[in-house]
Amino acid sequence: MRRKSATTTVLNALLKPASAGRRHPDRAFDGIVERAERRTGGDAAAVPEFVEDFRFLVRSFVDGTGLSPMGWQSVVSDIGSRLENRLRVHRLIAEHPEIADEPIERPVFIVGLPRTATTLAHNIIAQSDGHRGPKLWEWFFTDIDRGEDVERGHIKDTRRMVGTFMRLAPAFKVIHPLDAEKPDECNYLLPHGSTHLARVLMPEYFEWTKERDWLPDYEYLRQALQVLQYGRERKRWILKSPLHLEHLPELLKVFPGATIVWTHRDPVTVLGSLCSMVETTQLLHVRKPDLHGIGRMWLDIQSAAIERARAARVAGPREAFVDVPYTWLAAEPHEKVPKLYEMLGARWTDKDAGNLDNVLARPGIGRQHEYELARYGLTPTDVEEAFGDYAGMVQAMRFN
């Protein structure tokens, strides 16, 4: 499996002069804020905590991480895009206060450890009649309906970004294919989380995330959905991200009628595949990823996520959770996915059956990219000990 393109070496050399901003991260971030305000007509002073949290993130990306010139340009572009979206959403609600009255009714959140078929489930459920999952371009350009010409422009810009990324990291055509016009993860909107740690190892940022108040992020997510729903046909939102597993109390507080579809898979299998994906991502941002550092950090991230999610489940409403073993989606989809629809109170149709066949036929579905735990300094015993009895619980699952 080719993890990165030879083009990355050339780009790092070409971008080296433009990456001097890394030496002055605060000054560079001020420039990001100014551009975001200019492009959106928004006011960064209206969301001060959001802005200052991003300032800390920029500092974290630079501080001792070995960020490459291409990695720096990626960070600047991504944070700029996220900040523009935040300012746009805030401005729209200020201009159209009725947006805040849009009801987000009975949303479905698909959660689980990465590499547990959450994407497969999302691709099927989100495309049913009466359902809607935000498309990748909508996460990048969250806005009210401004007509087909504007929409086509946003789709074109997103396709350009996706095409560049796929050329630089061809392995993602198998690991996680991206399509501007298909539903995708909430990660592309949510401002913080382990998504950023997939780019570089940032111990200080990692510790910061453990103590952070995540409620404002989910309030922002609700606002974004309200913007996307405003003036458009109302449908049941189908959302997905492994990040949600870490923040179920906040999610359920902001979306009290939500259903949590939790996919389960043996974490020993998950961790090797996940670390391989992180390594591929980091190769675009640092010259030589610390493979054992990846293993240690992501074992900590995911085992802690499971622990928090299980505690939230005990404290939360029992009827909010739907458990889905990995085999339902990977080995028995034609039999079990209709059952999942029934559990969600949704109707399975011939159209859904055809969509299931189309999703399963796509390149990459059912294929594995190369990985092994030992490459990342881990053993099966390390994973089993970190996850406690969760691995045994997954193996013991029996569903009719």
Q: CB of 137 within 8 A of CB of 158? A: yes
Q: What is the pLDDT of residues 202-244, one digit of tens each?
A: 999 999 999 999 999 999 999 999 999 999 999 999 999 999 9
Kindly report the CATH number assigned to the domain that includes residue 247: 3.40.50.300
Phi, then psi, of 75 in degrees rounded to 5? -65, -45
Q: What is the pLDDT of residues 101-144, one digit of tens each?
A: 999 999 999 999 998 999 999 999 999 999 999 999 999 999 99
Task: Answer yes or no: is 39 within a domain.
Answer: yes
Q: Into how many domains does the chain fold?
A: 1
Residue 280, token pair as written in the block: 């591929």
Question: What is the mean pLDDT of the segment spanning 31-41?
Answer: 96
Residue 229: per-residue pLDDT:
98
Q: What is the pLDDT of residues 254-284, one digit of tens each?
A: 999 999 999 999 999 999 999 999 999 999 8
Confidence check: pLDDT of 399 > 60: no
What whole-number distance in Å separates Cα of residue 393 and Cα of residue 399?
Answer: 13
Residue 363, token pair as written in the block: 């390149």
Residue 162: per-residue pLDDT:
86
What whole-number distance in Å separates Cα of residue 73 and Cα of residue 81?
Answer: 12
Confidence of residue 70 (pLDDT cuts 50, 70, 90): confident
What whole-number distance in Å separates Cα of residue 74 and Cα of residue 224?
Answer: 23
Task: Answer yes or no: is 350 within a domain.
Answer: yes
Mean pLDDT across the chain: 90
Task: Answer yes or no: is 2 within a domain.
Answer: no
Residue 391: per-residue pLDDT:
84
Quote the pTM value.
Answer: 0.92
What range defines the domain where residue 273 resides?
A: 7-396
What whole-number distance in Å separates Cα of residue 371 and Cα of residue 383?
Answer: 15
Q: CB of 118 within 8 A of CB of 240? A: yes
Range in 14-23, 145-154, 332-341 with the lowest mean pLDDT: 14-23
E strand map for the chain: 108-112, 131-132, 236-240, 259-264, 321-325
Task: Answer yes or no: is 1 within a domain.
Answer: no
Task: Answer yes or no: is 227 within a domain.
Answer: yes
Task: Answer yes or no: is 131 within a domain.
Answer: yes
The CA–CA distances, whole Å, from 381 to 82, 267, 373, 384 equal 39, 11, 11, 5
Q: What is the pLDDT of residues 176-199, one digit of tens each?
A: 678 999 999 999 999 999 999 999
Residue 18: per-residue pLDDT:
55
Task: Answer yes or no: is 348 within a domain.
Answer: yes
Q: What is the pLDDT of residues 72-84, one digit of tens each?
A: 998 999 999 999 9
Rg (CA), the chain: 21
Confidence check: pLDDT of 20 > 80: no
Task: Answer yes or no: is 146 within a domain.
Answer: yes
E strand map for 107-233: 108-112, 131-132
Residue 363: per-residue pLDDT:
58
